[in-house]
A and B are shown apart, each in its own frame.
Chain A
Amino acid sequence: MKTQISATGNLNPFSAAYFREIVAYKDLLITLVKRDVSVVYKQTVLGIAWAVFRPLVQMLVFTVIFGYFIDFQSKIGDAIPYAVFSFAALVPWTYFSVSMTSATNSLVSNANFLTKVYFPRIIIPLVPIISKLFDFGISFGLLLAMLLYYGITPNINALFIPVLVIVMILTSFGISLWLAALAIQYRDIQQLMQFLAQLLMYAAPVIWPISIVPAKFLPYYGFYPMAGVIEGFRAALLDTGPMPWLMIAQGAATAIFLFITGSLFFRKKEDSFADVV
């Protein structure tokens, strides 16, 4: 194996060489993902139950406040209980916000690796993006159990859930690549994350039905990728209507854009991480 080290390297994140390098370190990625999954629940009493605890509690809070007090229930009709309505959104949303937050902070919290060993840096933010899918899977299972309990039948569009999941992952990964590369130099990003996650949640149709979005914004609203993902989850699993394909397509476009620009930016900054951390 020949390597050349020089002041500037190959900065194309989509080159075959870069891809081969990531593949060469796949065992590291697998080990780190396993660690991420297993360590979170070590020495806890509830163990893996914590994976569903967070979205469940949020669902209860939302159901009491928005389902009863503010009465969004009347806006979504009687066919779907508000609890299921919000939980169907909280499952993808929780993945999105948790994976994005930990991926953004990942470089800073793994600074000791960055200054001691070489590996493609992109592995570090990729780890939470993958490992949080485990929690996502568990809460998705719980969602299906709730559908069964309430006697709600998903429609055929449920087959497209994997497409929505991919859009969800790409969005989270794309944003994380940007923010992680910035956060290692500007620690403000870590402070900002808490707002950002909250802001993005109120901007997404998690607690409210999409019907309250003013008509003139609706044609563009889909460019916020989580809107299409959440509405897609509801349409397919709760059978609330036709799949919002336009929104999903718009969201996919944003997600791909974020992912490509994020990768380019990350690759450009990657070599200086050890110097600025």
Chain B
Amino acid sequence: MSKVQIDVRNVSKRYRLGLKEESNDSLMGYLGSVVRAPFESFKKVKSLSKFEDDNSESVLWALKDLSFQVNEGDVMGVIGKNGAGKSTLLKILSRITRPTTGTIDINGRVASLLEVGTGFHSELSGRENIYMNGTILGMTKKEIDRKFEEIVDFSGVERFIDTPVKRYSSGMQVRLAFSVAAHLEPEILVIDEVLAVGDAEFQKKCIGKMQGISNTGRTILFVSHNMGAMQSLCNKCIYLEHGKLVSEGETSKIIDQYLTRNHSTANAHDWDDIKTAPGNDQIRLKKASVYSENNPEESILFINNDLVFEFEFWNLKPMQTNLSLKLNSIKGELVFNVVSVVKDLNEGVYRCRFHVPANLLNDNHYSIDLHFVKDASRSICFMEDVVGFELQDPPREGSWFGKWEGIVRPTFRTELDLV
């Protein structure tokens, strides 16, 4: 049993929302409000830090009675939609703001990275900014001296280290900032959605670095919307909704729960009204659905079903049209991109079907993006996430029941014989 490093007990945090301004429609009303304005403003500005009426609508509870524990060496992910309280939680843990009620016991030094590049000064050189940024994040000058070479190496900006950062590209600034942060050596590292920046290669490097940090037994708290990164980094997760803890536990279980609660598993979408349907003055989508070829009524889809992706649309102008379909896994990986046949269409409602063979896709949640293409070359309309569906693993025989890995799960002809 490893020891508890962060113990959060009944933590709540209250914020004051901005109040709506009253407007005047008469001159006298306006003059009156000019005279009253300083008093009104004073009350309003003061109310930012005063809470007399707890239940009024201008009060928001960003966190409500949150309790959980993080053990030493855990990499804990915090999952939740925007506004669930994730960032507020990290701010409280990094002592930027205090909870309204509740207590947290922290065992160890916390370094937080809520935004890459905090404290960069554009007039100063890369070298000066490394010291600047490092000390702001809580390192001492000695620590930075010791790690300086490593930081510069990791960032890959050696040649520009004595150039003011205002002459850096934004990518270079991000790389430099992350490498300072990655070389922090606190017992507890708190990281908010910082992987959203930088190119794919650098992101991979960052995840690798964070894995390295966690392997040395340090505790990490990590917020991200990138479920793939979450899955590969975190051994535990907590799931927040409206400031409350929904569940905590093993990462893949929590991610599944989050995904099922937040994604419509209805396999079909219909738009009856041509005016509000997705599209533009050339194309409007009428219907998007995914079903099993042999059993169109069945709502549960298995990986060994032949699938049909079916779309109906209003073609509003005669033109040569076809569809380009992108299938994304829920973690945002593009599984494939296929195009339909190209045809000359008149005005009218058309139907397009993609037949996807059984035993190609793995069990997962998927979403479909559509491009409507004119003259087989030009995209005239892009629609994101027009329909989503889930493929399930059929009950299987045998002695292994774990999750089959991989994006696809084809069945190949295999042989195993005595030679």
Contacts and interface: CB of A to CB of B under 8 A. Distances in A.
Nearest to A40: B123
A216 interface: no
A2 B110 CA distance: 10
Contact of B114 (A5, A6, A30, A117): A117
A116 B106 contact: no
A27 B131 CA distance: 9
Given A5-B106, A7-B98, A271-B97, A185 B45 contact: yes
Nearest to A9: B98
Interface stretch (A59-67, A77-85, A107-115, A127-135): A107-115
Interface residues of A, number: 35
Nearest to B104: A5
A150 to B, nearest CB: 39
A5 B121 contact: no
B299 to A, nearest CB: 46
A5 B99 contact: yes
B66 to A, nearest CB: 13
A35 B119 CA distance: 11
Nearest to B136: A117
Interface string B108-147: 1110101100110101100010011001111111000000
Contact of A119 (B48, B109, B138, B140): B138
B152 to A, nearest CB: 18
A39 interface: yes
Contact of B106 (A2, A31, A112, A185): A2
Contact of B49 (A8, A119, A275): A275
Taking chain A's interface residues, is the majority helix, strand, or loop, or is none over half, making it mixed? Answer: mixed
B92 interface: yes
Contact of B101 (A1, A7, A186): A7
B99 A35 contact: no
A115 to B, nearest CB: 6
Contacts of B95: 3, 5, 118
A5 B138 contact: no
A158 interface: no
Given A1-B108, A118-B96, A274-B96, A28 B135 contact: yes
B115 to A, nearest CB: 5
B350 interface: no
With most chain A CB atoms within 10 A of its CB, the pick from B45, B91, B97, B128 is B97
Nearest to B187: A1
Nearest to A110: B119
A27 B145 CA distance: 12
Contacts of A117: 94, 96, 112, 114, 118-119, 136-138
B104 A4 contact: yes
Interface string A235-262: 0000000000000000000000000000
A7 B104 contact: no
Contacts of A212: none
Interface in A18-75: 25, 27-28, 30-32, 35, 38-39, 42-43
A114 B114 CA distance: 11
Contact of B121 (A28, A35, A115): A35
Given A5-B95, A115-B96, A42 B123 contact: yes
23 contacts: A3-B105, A3-B110, A4-B106, A5-B93, A5-B104, A5-B105, A6-B99, A7-B102, A8-B98, A27-B135, A28-B136, A31-B141, A42-B123, A113-B119, A115-B96, A117-B94, A117-B136, A118-B138, A119-B136, A271-B98, A272-B49, A274-B91, A275-B48
Interface of A: 1-9, 25, 27-28, 30-32, 35, 38-39, 42-43, 112-119, 185-186, 271-272, 274-276
Interface of B: 15, 45-46, 48-49, 91-110, 112, 114-115, 118-119, 121, 123-124, 128, 131-132, 135-141
Given A7-B103, A272-B49, 7 more contacts: A1-B107, A3-B105, A5-B103, A7-B99, A112-B119, A117-B137, A274-B96
